Every structure is written in C-alpha cells, then in structure tokens.
Chain A
Amino acid sequence: MATSFNTCLKRGCHVVYALEIEGIPFLFVEKHVRRVTAESNAASPGFIDGYGGATVAGLIIDGQKIGEEIDRKKGVSRARSLDFKLAYAPLEDAGVIDNLFQKPSFLSPVAADIDTGATSFTVTAVGGGWPNPAGIYVGNEYIYATGVAHSEPTTTFSSFTRGAWGPKYDHDAGGFTASRFATDRPNIWRGRMATLWECVVNQEGRALFDTWKTGDYCRQAWKGTLDASPVPGQVGFEFSAQALVRKLTQKIGFTGDWRIMWNELGHSFTEIVESPTADPNFQSWQGVTLGLYDPGDGSMAVDFHILLDDGTDESVTVSNSTARAYASVGHWAGDIAAGLVSQLSSDLENAKSYTSSSQAFFLFDVTDQASGTQLKSESTASVTGGTAPYFLRANQYAYPKYSTDIATVGGAETPMNHFRLETSWDWASYDVFPWLLVVNDQSSTLQDYTLPATGYAIAEADGEKELFKFANGADVAAYPGAKAIKVVQRAISGTPVNLAKYGVTIKVVAGTQGDLKSCALTMLESSGTATRGDFDTLGLGMGYAIDDGHISEADFGTSVAMYADRELVAADDGTVSFEGLFGGWYTMSGTCVAQRRNSSGVIQLRPVRHEVYALSARDPAVVSISASDILLKGVSPLEVVEAPNVVMVGTKSMANDAAYDVTVRSVPEIVREGVRAWDIKCPHMDAQDAYNAAQRAIVLGAGQYAITLTLGPWVDVQVGDPCILALGNHRGTFDFDDGTVGMTSAFARCMGVERDLETLEQKCRFLLYGNSIHPSLYCPTATVTAHSGAVVTLDTGEGAWFAATETVRLYNPGREELGTPEYSDIVINSISGDALTLASSAPAWVANNTTRATFPTYASASAGQRGFFFFKSDYRWN
C-alpha cells in the first residue's frame, strides 16, 4: 500500500507549492522539479499545453500561514487570507511577464452578449490584428480560439475551447467596465479564484508525482479569491487573496424598487405578435381580450397536448380537423390565436364532442417556429362532455364575437370566422400568474441595474406583503428601461396582493426558497449561467457563482446539518450574504460552514460539526492524536470556553416580520454567572426548532474548555474533525470524567488549524468535552458490499468498527422478525481492511448492499462493543 501524503512528511519528504489562478493559463510553481521516475521535470497539467499556457516558476509564499477557525456563533468559519508573490526574474526568464502584466494590446468590446453555450462570438477590432490561434481573456474566463476571422471592423472567434483553465461565464456586452472587453492579456485580476496546491518531493527534492496537480502526492492546501489587483513590489508582483469561505460573508444581490406599468382595461390586440416583449402594445393587463381572426393562410404550427384523465398525453395539432381544443389565455396569446382560429371555428361550427366521457384536462405547448421559443400554458382547463369550455382560472370565459349567438355553437352550423376569447383575472388570487411590465420606481431609487431573468420580489400594497417568484424576465423593445416579468409562483410568503391595484410597489429581493440545503446551495452556485451545478438557478448577481466542484453538496444534507430539510424563504431586502441568511441556521444545527479538503484532495465548502460528544476510536472519521504527534513546544494551557446561558433566536424575516423571536434561558446559570447571551439570526426558523436548538447549545456548552496543540505535519486533521486526544496524562489537562489530573483520552473537536506553509507545523485548537452528561453511541450500521463464503466485505472504511474475535451481527433491515429471522451473530476470525473473515459462511439471505453489519446484543458483545447501544422494535440495550 502506498505511503500516504501525510506520512511522507514525517519520513523526510517535503512539499513544493503550485498556484493556479482562474482563467490564467499558467501554473505558478515555486520551482521546476525533476521527477523520481525520470530526469525530466514534472509535466504540465492539462489545459496548459496547447492552450497558450505553461508552468512557470517564481511563486513565493515565504512566511505565510494558512488557517481556519470555526465560528460557533456566525455559522461561517474564519479563514486566513493568503499573500503571495510572483517573482520578476523567473517570469522574465520564461518570457511571460509581459503576457501577464503588460497592458493588453487588444481591447476589443464584445459585439453581443456571450452566453456559456456560445460557439463563436464577435468583437469590434478596428484594423484587426488578433493572432490565430488566439488566447482571449474575457472577464474571468480564458478562451482559446483556433478560428479567427476578421472583417473590418469586427473579428469573429470560433472553434474555441471555453472555460479553459477555469469555468465558463456569461459575458454582457452592455457593461461599461473592463468586463465587456476581450483582451489578449489579463485585464481583470480581482475576484479570480486562486488555488494553492502542495505537492510532495522526496529528500533530494524530486517530485513523487509525474504531473502537477495529479495523483496521490498532490492536493489542494488552500483556496480563495484574489481580493486585489497585483501590485509591483521589490522582487515581484504581490497578490492578496481571501479564503473562499470568507466569500460567504460578502453581500450580494441588489436593492431595487419597481412599479407596474398599466394599460387601460380591455386592451385589444389587433395583430399577431411573435413575442410579447417585442410587441409595442405589451403591457401589464388587468383584463386580457384577444381578438382571434383568420390570418388567411392558417399556417401557424400549434401543437396541443391534451392530457386526459387517464394520464394519456394526446398530441393534437390545429390542422387536424378532428381535434378539439380550447386554450385558456396564457402569455403570448397572439401566437396562439393565429394557430387556433381556423381550428376553433371549425370545431365550434361542427359542435363535436370530446371523446373523453368525463373530464379531460389539457395543456397547450406551442412552439413558435420562427423564433424557436417554446410556450407553455401555466393553467389547465377542464371540459365536460359537451362543448362548453370551463377554465380553471377564475373568471375566464369565451364567446364568439361575431356569431349571432353563443348558443348556436352547440348545435347549428354557423360559419364563424372570428372568435373572441376574453379573460378577466382576479389579480389577488394566488393562482393567477400574470405578466407584469415593470419600470424602475424613480421616486425612490435611480439605478442602472436591470432585473434578472429569474428571481424573487415582494409586492406591497395596503400594508400587505406578498413574496412572489418571477421568470422570463426580458427587455421590452417599446419601453426602454422597462422589463417584462412573468409571475410564476404566488404568495410564497405573506398575503396575496391585488397586483392590479394602482400603487402596488415591487421590491426585488435576493435569495431563494425551498429547504435549507437547496436554498444554501442555490445561493452558492447561482451564476445566471446554469452551468455551476444543479442549483445554479438564479440570475446573474444573485449567487456566488461557485462551481459545484468546490462544494461538497452531500454534506449540506441532514447527515451533517440537522435542519437541512426545513423549508424556508431565504430572501432579504436588497443585498444579503450567505452568512446573514443561513449562518444562524448552521449555528443552530451545531455546525459551521468551512472549507475542508475531501478525500480526493480537493478543498470544498461544507458544513462541519463543532459540537463535542462521546466518540469512538473505532469510528473511521475520528482522528486519534497521541503525544507522539505533538511537537515538543506545542501544548498550551487549558482555557475555559465561554458558553451561553441565554440564546436568543431571531426568526423574523423580511417576508415574515411577524414571526417569533425565541429566547431560551438557563436561569440557574444566569444567577450564578450573569448573562452570557448569544443572539442568533435564524430567519424563518420554526419556533420549536429554535427552542430545541437553543437548549442544546446551552447544554452542550456547559463546562467546555479548549487546548491548543502544535502538531507535526503528518497528522491529517482539519476543522470539524472529531478527535480523541491521548495526551499521555499531560499535566496541563484534567480529565473531568475521572476527576484526575492529566488526560489519557479526551473527546475533542478540532475547531481551528493554523498551518505554517514553510515548516508545515500545525497549530490546532481543540474544543474539549464539557460537563454535560454524554450518551452512549449508537451502534454502527455498516453495509455489506460483497460476500463470498465466510468473507464479508463492508463499505470503505467500515471494517475499522470491528475487531478480530469479536462478534458481528448481520441482518437485513425490516426482516429481523420474519418466521426465519434474517439476522445472525457470527464470530470474526480475522479482519483485513474492510474484509471480515467469519468463523462460518455468511447466511444465504445475505445480499450485497442490502445486508447490514452491526454489533451483537449485550451478552455477545465484547467490552469495546458494550459502549454502544441500539434501538430495536421491542427493546433497547445498554
């Protein structure tokens, strides 16, 4: 088995650092290093060779420390920033110093917005001159194009690789800063992500890795974003970067007050429109009246999907004379009108009946052949047996405009070439989803910010507030500065407001809704490009645009953050930070969002626990630290950690300012110690959750203390790790369980790690167990992933829960009480990794990935196993 990264450091190996910067096609290393397997230097990683980049020496990180400390009150860890330099001389030797830092020779404004899917784009470049191939910097993105064509005054790039050396971005041609320019040299530095890698070299300084950033001997040490442009110093350009997790304390979003533009009631359309936002008559409607008429050629292709009550989705087109379809008025009804007119009139004339005997629900799904825009109805309509349409939306009805009498529709064959469909909505109804035409309310703000395509807003009128979600935001050609938005979800919070009422104000908010996990991830990932991950759903500027590769999404679930499944409206007025919206939630979960390295060596954001309770050395997640891991200089005196005796949980939110504020007090402690209060903002938290969480914070905090140890670099410990400290009866410690001076074994949680990048020493702060009564641990439930004969293999790392000569209980969950119970206690003869060799063959009912392994009942349990307990349907033990 290969020696681990950390163990190498104990055995005389060292590290050499490499730094990558988002959108910069160079890997900056301290020194080019030869490999242990060849005379040549470690190879450049992908995206460098062939993309106009290189590996360049000259990184200087002298005297730097990286560190992170859990913040138990704010829910987002405190992490140190990193300063580094790029030395002049190596950059000059490599011939890249001008490529990186000289003013761009091409400063070409992009001609139109570039989205992440673009396969070509055009810039204004009078006189041309862009080389082919071209390395192009646009915002934070590096694009390498092998297709460069100039036609005065523009240059078009094609055949390119997007997001080479970093993620893709949308680029807005309408900006007025450097963000809108394509350049041949970096024009923007601030905000780029920087990742520091540490890679192992042996005693003679040769690389154990063949390629930078790859393999078991390279891993990420730190990750953050540049928070200043490079400054020329004495030896090189000086950079400063803040840790990625600190980005979560930065406010994002925009304050925006808007008002609705209104048209007169009953505005009539007189022409076909291709999209509402291009229609000069497009307005916010109180009532919608559509005149349907025969355009003459009847060429509009309209497809209807009739969803019958038996679940059948019947696709019908208007050109099919046997089809029957009535459409409620959705958006872009003009398009629909063009397609419906001939078919509807024909159907009404012939008065045909629906084939469904009871009710048929239908949705329409229209594709505008010209623009490719797909239109979908937001509503359903029901039709009962006959010919009269009933629409689910309130107050919708239809009648022929020019026929003599609607009554004839059901019977007489009356030619009807014109048809009128009219709606009148109750705009205070939660299921009415109108289009709104909004403009900046210049009575309160004057701003250059435009609405995102998708987002949340609060409508306010007559003292009522309603949080709604909108989508399809777009400019309206006829009204510069105005935006059309489609309301897609009403009354997320608050009371439905009559949107038709004059004087309604619209305030755009930052945030989202859903369960805590999805809300948090949505804010982290949203970039407006839908490329950062599954949760990249909000518009530009409404999220941190962090790629999901930098986030451990699973750890945002309930396994770590206990309230991850709670529904909330995470929105706030104007600008807001992740810490402000969610920090209290993670605090109350006993967690803190931190940046940690995962098992693949990648630094990711994730919540980590900071509560201390009983631990088992058998748990693979537990880090055991002994006296031989502690450097001689490295034990600090114990210090008492102040714990709260009053926790105030503010659950009010902008959307619900009538919510409770929950205060939990431990009066005896207040009497003895005075008030030590925590004030936690936890918007939208349920009062009962808040009450329980506050109680837990007080109870677990009682009597906690901390110790700081300086550990060797071979100890793989990070913030949030559960630890068992075996300090060899160190006199500076006290065992509160035994009441003796000196701890032989203490449960602890790693709360902070500060690492010297030069010596690799780690100064770690551990929170130690308090005076609270700790429960026994639950038995582990390991999963059988393979079995053959007497050998049963458990999931990765789970073999550590067991020991040879102990007994393992195998069982199939839910089948323990069968006539032939599917559980069995078998002695373990030996263990190799996760493979248990049993004294007898595994029972026939054992199934891979179904059967679980745990400890046996008390009588059969070893001394070590008796420290655990489990619940069964009819009893519990220990």
Chain B
Amino acid sequence: MSQSTITAPPPGGFLYAWIDSGVPGARTVTRPGGAEITAAENHLHFVDWQKLIHNAVFADHGSTFTFDTATGLASFVANVAGDYKFDRCGDLCGLAHQTNVARTFAEDERLDSFYVPRGAIWLMGAEYEEIELAREVQFDQFRWRRGYGYSWGGARIYRWRLTMHKDALDSFDAGWCATGKVTLQMANATAIADSGTGYTGSLTGYVVGVQSQRWLGPARDVAEVELLIVGAD
C-alpha cells in the first residue's frame, strides 16, 4: 500500500545535495539482530546524493538503494527480512522522517519515497545568471542553524532561480540544499552510471545564501526560490 504524500507532478529536474559520508548521520542503515550496515562510510566522502546512494554498499545481505530520475523516487529493497533502521539517509531518500526508528521489511520488500527526497529536490524549472557583485546573503530563516555561505578564491557568483512544487519546497526547507554544496541538473536528467560519471548539463557550486522565496500565484502550489551560488571548489 502506497503511503505517498506527494501531490507534485513528476520532476523536470533536480537540485542534489552533497552529502559528506565522513561525518555520522547520513550513511548507515542498521538491522537489529544482524550486522550493522555501513552504507557509505569509508567508501565515498563528499559526493552528491545520487552518487552516495548509487554507491551504497550493504555487504552482508545485498540490500539496495536506487533512484529513478523519471519519477524522482528513491527506493530501498531489503534483501533479507528484518527490522531496519535508517539514520538521516532515510530522510534524504524520502523514506523515513525519523531517525533510527525500526521498520519491518519482508524479504525483497521495496519501500519507495513517500515524500520528496531531501537530497534530490524536484524542480519544475530553473534558470541562472552570473552576477557581478561578490556578496553574500544572510540566511537566517533558522537562527540557530545560521546557514551562512561563503564566496572565496577566484569564484564566480551565480543566481539560480528555481521553480518547485510545494512538496519539493518542504524538502528544500529541510536544509540539505540550502547550505553547502549542490548540483543542479535540469535537461536530460539521467541517473548516473557509476561513481565516475557526472551528469549531463549540470552545474555545481556552493550555496552562499537563499536570497528569496515566493509563491507563484495565489494557490501557493508553486514557489520560486532564488539561490546565490559560488562556483568555487
């Protein structure tokens, strides 16, 4: 039975968060009674979300994460029956709001995203422009989170103007794409083939700040989000 809460139309593109598997919190699926499964620690460090789950390894039983760029849904298939717990990687995939709360899987049971994955924000449209002013914008929507970005080195500053459904905006506001490094992929959104392959027509940069958020129309179904992005390494 589907538990999906998604009402958004299929995505036209994605804004991928970059995930650091060198820190705890977004890399582990545990199976009580079985081995602790480390999906990404020591495998990849700082990569975009799709690469992270594409390369996740569950050595002891062969469970898998997948991501379908056509539907925008991530899936987890448990190859062995049992109670599984996700750390924040479950939320990143749109599979589990809560951290390390057990869910029972039957053998080969598949669980699809029931909300827009926090690590792959569905986009309806996107455009960008290079701006001249090297400045930063304070993002203080969440005071405690600060959310400052930085522009440095010989960087170029871009403004990304993203259009997204309210379901996607909820996931955007979770924060994974509001700070740190992000990748924008619109046309020819395709799944990567392996860890060494990039995306066609993608842009990558660090978020300096969220410049604005506004609804497009009174229905409040679609929002426009402007990001300042620095294109530095």
- Where the two chains meet, the residues of A that have a C-beta atom closer than 8 Å to any C-beta of B are 1-3, 7-8, 10-16, 30-31, 33-39, 200-206, 208, 217, 626-633, 712-713, 728, 758-761
Contacts and interface: CB of A to CB of B under 8 A. Distances in A.
Interface string B166-179: 00000000111111
A784 B73 CA distance: 53
A37 B146 contact: no
Contacts of A204: 88, 91, 118, 145, 174-176
B180 A11 contact: yes
Interface of B: 17-18, 20, 22-26, 42, 45-46, 87-88, 91, 98-101, 118, 134, 138, 142, 144-148, 150-155, 174-181, 206-207, 232-233
Contacts of A39: 98-101
A33 B175 CA distance: 15
Overall SS of chain A's interface: loop
Contacts of B134: 632-633
A861 B26 CA distance: 46
22 contacts: A1-B42, A3-B20, A3-B22, A3-B46, A7-B20, A8-B23, A11-B46, A11-B181, A12-B179, A14-B148, A34-B99, A36-B23, A36-B25, A37-B100, A38-B99, A202-B25, A203-B178, A204-B91, A204-B176, A208-B25, A627-B153, A632-B153
A8 B26 contact: no
A203 B180 contact: yes
Nearest to B177: A203
B20 A35 contact: no
A631 B152 contact: yes
Contacts of B118: 204
A209 to B, nearest CB: 9
Contacts of A16: 144
Q: B26, B151, B180: which has the most chain A beta carbons within 10 Å?
A: B180
A163 to B, nearest CB: 32
Given A202-B175, A203-B176, A760-B148, 17 more contacts: A11-B180, A11-B181, A12-B207, A13-B20, A13-B179, A36-B23, A36-B99, A37-B24, A37-B25, A205-B145, A206-B25, A206-B88, A628-B153, A628-B154, A632-B153, A758-B148, A759-B146
Nearest to A5: B23
Contact of B87 (A13, A37, A201): A37
Contact of B18 (A11, A633, A759): A11
A202 B22 contact: no
B191 to A, nearest CB: 23
Given A2-B23, A37-B25, A201-B145, A14 B101 contact: no
A759 B176 CA distance: 18
Nearest to B152: A631
A184 to B, nearest CB: 32
Contact of B88 (A36, A630, A631): A36
A2 B20 CA distance: 9
Given A37-B99, A204-B174, A628 B232 contact: yes
Indicate the member of B98, B99, B134, B177 with the most A CB atoms within 10 Å. Answer: B99
Contacts of B145: 14, 201, 204-205
Nearest to A201: B145
B180 A628 contact: no
Nearest to B179: A12
Contacts, number: 129
Contact of A632 (B87, B147, B155): B155
A30 B143 CA distance: 10
Contacts of A632: 134, 151-153, 155
Contact of A38 (B100, B175, B232): B100
A14 B25 contact: no
A601 to B, nearest CB: 16
A627 B154 contact: yes
Contacts of A12: 18, 20, 176, 179-181, 206-207
A43 B153 CA distance: 39
Most chain B C-beta atoms within 10 Å of own C-beta, residue among A39, A203, A633: A203
A205 B153 contact: no
Contacts of A36: 23-26, 87-88, 99
A627 B20 CA distance: 24
Contacts of B150: 10, 631, 712-713, 761
A13 B179 CA distance: 8
B84 to A, nearest CB: 15
Nearest to A216: B23
A628 B144 CA distance: 27
A39 B180 CA distance: 23
Contacts of B180: 11-13, 203
Q: Which 5 residue pairs are nearest across A and B when measured between Cβ atoms?
A: A12-B180, A36-B25, A3-B22, A628-B153, A204-B175
A649 B91 CA distance: 66
A716 to B, nearest CB: 15
* Residue of B45, B146, B175 most packed against chain A (CB within 10 A): B146
Contacts of B46: 3, 11
A208 B176 CA distance: 14
A775 B178 CA distance: 49
A467 to B, nearest CB: 55
A1 B87 contact: no
A43 to B, nearest CB: 14
A3 B27 CA distance: 13
Contacts of A217: 23
B148 A202 contact: no
Contacts of B22: 1-3, 7
A202 B88 contact: yes
Q: Which of A2, A15, A630 has the most CB of B within 10 A?
A: A2
Contacts of B151: 631-632
Contacts of B20: 3, 7-8, 11-13
Contacts of B152: 628-632, 712
Contacts of B154: 627-628, 728
A35 B207 contact: no
Nearest to A627: B153
Given A36-B87, A39-B101, A759 B148 contact: yes
Nearest to A715: B152
A205 B233 contact: no
Contacts of A14: 145-148, 179
A713 B146 CA distance: 13
A1 B177 CA distance: 24
Contacts of A208: 23-25
Contacts of B178: 203
B131 to A, nearest CB: 12
Contacts of B45: 3
Nearest to B134: A632
A10 B20 CA distance: 11
A3 B181 CA distance: 15
Nearest to B42: A1
Most buried by A among B179, B206, B233: B179
Nearest to B174: A204
A3 B23 contact: yes
A39 B86 CA distance: 11
Contact of A628 (B142, B207, B233): B233
A34 B46 CA distance: 23
A33 to B, nearest CB: 8
Contacts of A38: 99-100
A760 B151 CA distance: 13
B17 A203 contact: yes
A85 B26 CA distance: 34
A632 B232 CA distance: 11
A477 to B, nearest CB: 61
Contacts of A712: 150, 152
Contacts of A760: 146, 148
B23 A13 contact: yes
Contacts of A633: 134
Point out which of A1, A8, A16, A204 has the most chain B C-beta atoms below 10 A from its C-beta: A204
Contact of B179 (A30, A203, A728): A203
Nearest to A207: B25
A16 B142 CA distance: 12
Contacts of B100: 37-39
